[in-house]
Structure 1
Amino acid sequence: MEYYFAFAAAALLLVNLISLAIAMWRLSPRGTPAPSISDRPAVSIVIPVRGVENFTALTLARAFELDWPHYQLIFCVAEERDPVVGRIEEAMAAHPEIASRILAGDDRISANPKLNNCVKGWRAAENDWVILTDSNVLMPADYVEHLISAWRDDTGLVCSTPLGSRPAGFWAETECAFLNGHQARWQYAGEALGFGFAQGKSMLWYKPMLDAAGGIEALAAEIAEDAAATKLVNRLGRKVHLVSSPFEQPLGRRDLREIWARQSRWARLRRVTFPIYFAPEILLGGVPPLTLGVLAALTADISPVAPAAAILLIAYLPELGLAFAKNWPVSFRLCLAMIVRDLLMPAIWLRSWIGGSFEWRGNTMTIGTESSELNEPSVA
């Protein structure tokens, strides 16, 4: 029996190492300039916003400082009295040379409040190329160039995962461990193997293509717009591609409750929209191979200390090396943060199978396999 446990532990560690090797090859270090391109079409950038966040001033400033000849910014709010409107107006006044506008209103086409907020922006977009981007994306100057340069002949959508940055405190570093070493790594590994999944943080669309396939309303087919986007692009016989250098999401301070709520919500969304791919997630991270390795040692009647130490080194040192190589946030606490992340992951996976509602930026959402809904009036 100990051989079965040992083989299973080794297999999981090998899969982990393969994913890290693919990510090392596929990802460019943070700050790498976008590939130079000659075709620079006009672009509309639709940004759904709600409330003032820790880095609102910074992310707004970056949006108005893009190195792209022709682009328009469309800020979408569900409520005209949202306090972020004043901040946006100040940024617009400071950059009159950039075409920008604010649109208010709540178009209920789905149970997804962010998608509802984007509808008016999509309809108002003047250009064929449209980027749907979250308000907390820290756009580099060559943001548009990164996205456009990743478009290929078979592309249906270009995306970027969020790269956690500027963490303040241990729990923010734990969120970095979730976003960078785990989620981004596996998403890029999947894309490299032909399993490209959309990520809603930054999505570049060719507007005529999506309009011909049902328009932005087609993204209401799933509770998560990125899941609907993935399935739509696949139906069109095209692929989801990712930029080589993910865009930053500055985190600031986080606490365990926030991480648990966010990761549980995302896990529930993955479980509902892609159950076949979600089910094996219970095998990811350092806990499964560590558990199997300890069981193998105990079954063989030897001390589990040395096998456990070896498994921890094999599981986490290469991931730490990936963070160093790609210029991601690294600190003395990151190793502990990765271990805490992996201890949380089985509980989050189990939580995703249990019913109940979630809070998302002021909205109570029920996410189910058959249907999903907003349980209270949306204000974002």
Structure 2
Amino acid sequence: MSVAASAGVVLGLLAAANLGSLALAGWRLRRRVRLPVLHREPVSIVRPVCGVEEFSEETLGSAFRLEHPDYEILFCVQREDDPVIPLVRRLIAENPGVEARLLVGDDRISGNPKLNNCVKGWEAARHEWVVLADSNVLMAPDYLEHLLSAWRADTGLICSTPLGSRAVGFPAEVECAFLNTLQARWQYAGEAMGLGFAQGKSMLWQRSFLNAHGGIRALGAEIAEDAAATKLVRAAGRHVHLVASPFEQPLGGRTLRQVWDRQVRWARLRRVTFPLFFAPELFIGAAVPMLLGMLAAPHPLAGALAVAVLWYGPEFWLARAKGWPLTLASLPAMVVRDAMVPLVWAAGWTTGRTVWRGNTVAFDGDVSRPVTEP
């Protein structure tokens, strides 16, 4: 078989996988709608916080405006001198109608600083249903209803991917392109095939289930708590399910270095925790297919352009159909993202340390003393 024919066969397989993932995600995802309050179970929301970000007041404040009839908020911070503490205390004081507490302390149960920060919240939570929610998740008024409505008889955990929004500047548009029509799309496609993976942004647990399988400390078995959660749920014979529509994470401004560092950190985490699933990530963007299109077509430029239309047209359709953010910068951001995919994938096979919220984390699971985040 000639080089052109071989390239065409591989390209056909990749195109089928790409279009299949978009179709599965399109079928599984729903355009966001406002849900009425149908579930009235009391819920504890554990929110680890560390430092003040661009949208901290809005994202943290959104937890006080939920329509759910009975819930508590447990803000968890590691150190007494954290600059986010005055903000949290002010939000609690301004919303006396919502039960909320600030818990300070650091339980070093693992090499994951976020998980360590959550332990005291889990142990202080009063309710059977517990949500672990990152500080940069913007909670819609029906946030808890979406989580509770996704629970099924075979569920062990409900999660949501982050939906990147409010990008300011081109690098932030690139991060949106990574988060939305690439990573969220593949995660929803995987869940549709019965291969649901946990996502640490929003996790709804049934307290008795997790406690029966080692409690929150069991999530320290991996360097990433969502990877440990995935393995724990599967070992218990249950499934990780996703909400029908992901929750928003406003991004604001980014630098290309910040985007690169985040993607490499997440790539290393995926490689360490799920190497067999990480290995094919080299092929998820359009870079390799465009190269194959150039080899397979009589005219290389025409082959590359045909692949670009085949890849980005359906991707745009998915974002538009689901009401996800699209701007004039979205297409060039997708192109830059896909040019980065092979480089991020290669960097994901390296080892070393990364800085997360002022903590230097080694990929052997150790945590050194706090340092200043660059």
TM-score by length of 1: 0.96
- The one of 341, 347, 353 aligned to 1:345: 341
The amino acid across from 1:334 in the alignment is S
Q: CA deviation at 1:379?
A: 9.2
* One-letter amino acid of the structure 1 residue matched with residue 214 of structure 2: G
Q: Is 1:376 equivalent to 2:357 in the alignment?
A: no
Superimposed CA distance per residue, residues 150-170 of structure 1 (whole angstroms, 9 cap, x where no aligned partner):
000000000000000111011
- Distance in 2 (CA, whole Å) between partners of 1:253 and 1:136 is 14
Q: 1:219 touches 1:225 (CA, 8 Å); kept in 2? A: yes
Letter of the 1:246 counterpart: P
- Equivalent position of 1:32 in the other structure: 33
The reply on whether 1:168 has 2:168 as its aligned counterpart is: yes
| Structure 2 residue 9 is the aligned partner of structure 1 residue 16 | no
1:33 Cα offset (Å): 2.1
Q: CA deviation at 1:352?
A: 1.0
Partner of 1:332: 328
Q: Distance in 2 between the 1:104 and 1:175 partners?
A: 32
* RMSD between aligned residues: 1.3
195-204 vs 327-336, greater mean Cα deviation: 327-336
Whole-angstrom distance in 2 between the partners of 1:271 and 1:103: 33
Query: Who is 1:259 aligned against?
Result: 259
In 1, the alpha carbon distance for the partners of 2:355 and 2:257 equals 12
Equivalent-residue separation in structure 2 for 1:101 and 1:190 (angstroms): 37
Q: Return 57-66 or 99-108, whichever deviates more.
A: 57-66
- 2:323 maps to a residue whose letter is N
Q: How far did 1:37 drift?
A: 5.9
* Kept after mapping to 2: 8 A contact 1:113/1:378: no
Aligned-residue sequence identity (percent) comes to 56
Alpha-carbon distance in structure 1 between the residues aligned to 2:252 and 2:37: 34
State the Cα distance separating 1:375 from its structure 2 match.
Answer: 2.5
Structure 2 residue 228 is matched with structure 1 residue 228: yes
The CA deviation at 1:365 is: 1.2
Structure 1 Cα separation of the partners of residues 292 and 372 of structure 2: 47
Q: Per the alignment, in what secondary structure is the counterpart of residue 109 of structure 1?
A: coil
8 Å contact kept, 1:287–1:343 = yes
Counterpart of 2:153 in structure 1 is 153
Amino acid at match of 2:192: A
Moved over 6 A (4+): none
Partners in 1 of 2:356 and 2:370 — Cα distance? Answer: 12
Partner residue, 2:196: 196
Instruction: Give distance in 1, aligned partners of 2:236 and 2:22.
Output: 30
How far apart are the structure 1 equivalents of 2:84 and 2:127?
25
Deviation, 1:39, is 3.4
**How far off its partner does 1:330 sit?**
0.5
2:360 equivalent among 358, 364, 375: 364
How far does the alpha carbon of each residue in 1:263-297 deviate from its partner, in whole angstroms, 9 at most, with x for none? 10000000000011110111111011111111223
> Matched residues in 2 for 1:151 and 1:37: separation?
15
2:372 & 2:139 partners in 1: Cα distance?
25
Equivalence for 1:51 = 51
Q: Is the 8 A contact 1:286 1:312 kept in 2?
A: yes
**Contact 2:358–2:370 under 8 Å retained in 1:** no
Task: Name the counterpart of 2:316.
Answer: 320
Post-superposition offset of 1:61: 1.9
1:335 partner amino acid = L
One-letter code of the match for 1:260? W
Tell me what 1:282 maps to.
282
- C-alpha distance in 1, partners of 2:38/2:268? 42
Q: Which runs of 5+ in 1 are unaligned?
A: none
Superposition deviation, residue 377 in structure 1: 3.7
Matched residue pairs, number? 371
3-state SS of paired residue (2:366): strand
Instruction: Give the aligned residue type for 2:15.
Output: L
Please state whether the residue corresponding to 1:177 is helix, strand or coil.
helix
Shift of 1:256: 0.5
Aligned mates of 2:236, 2:350 — CA distance in 1: 33
How far 1:308 moved relative to its partner?
1.2
Letter in 2 for 1:43: V
Q: Deviations over 1:176-195 (max 9, x none)?
A: 00000100000000000000
Give CA-to-partner distance per residue, 1:213-238, whole Å, 9 cap, x none.
Answer: 11100000000000000000001100
How far the C-alpha of 1:20 sits from its partner, in A, is: 0.6
1:119 alignment partner in structure 2: 119
Amino acid at match of 1:141: P
CA distance in 1, matches of 2:37, 2:155: 17
Matched residue SS, 1:159: strand
Q: Please give the TM-score of this superposition, normalised by the length of structure 2.
A: 0.97
